[in-house]
A and B are shown apart, each in its own frame.
Chain A
Amino acid sequence: MTDETTGASAPDQPIRRKTPPATPMVQAWLDGEETRDHLATADEQETAELWTRINSEAAQLRKRNTPIHVQSRILNSLTDLPAVPDPPAETGFKLTTATAVIGGIVILAIGAILGFMLVR
């Protein structure tokens, strides 16, 4: 996975914090593991207020759907493509009834020849 400290769009400068980072309780609340009632301190409540606003904005983004013309555009672009190729054929040996019968006959023939030669 990507190194989390060296992303391509890493900040130009270190991020300076005005307040302490979200407490484990705030993180648990944001993860849905705790209710907001469990945020005891004023700092936690202030942080929760900020995250309520951020989550509300994120929820707006969540409502966005693919523009209708995009699905049509994708489907139209497929018509210019050749039919999708079949998956690569298996290259391993497959034992069928015919190959088993032929193989058996060959082994019997070789055995018969060797036996005939030994007897002579």
Chain B
Amino acid sequence: MKNRLKVLRAELNFTQADLADKAGVSRQTINAIEKGKFDPSLPLAFKFSEIFDLKIEEIFQPPVKN
């Protein structure tokens, strides 16, 4: 699943550690999500939505089907 986490984080001048603190997860988790190695759970996606004040679909995009 694609996401705009890195861009949104940069817009707010957050480091990965800052975002991890706000979302209540480890920095490793933020890094893995940004790199597309790991998809967050729905509660965590809602948490990001709350932090960035955006809808979930404005942060995460489903993979494009062929």
The finding on whether chains A and B are genuine partners in a shared complex, rather than unrelated, reads: no
Q: Which of A's residues lie within 8 Å of B, judged by CB?
A: none
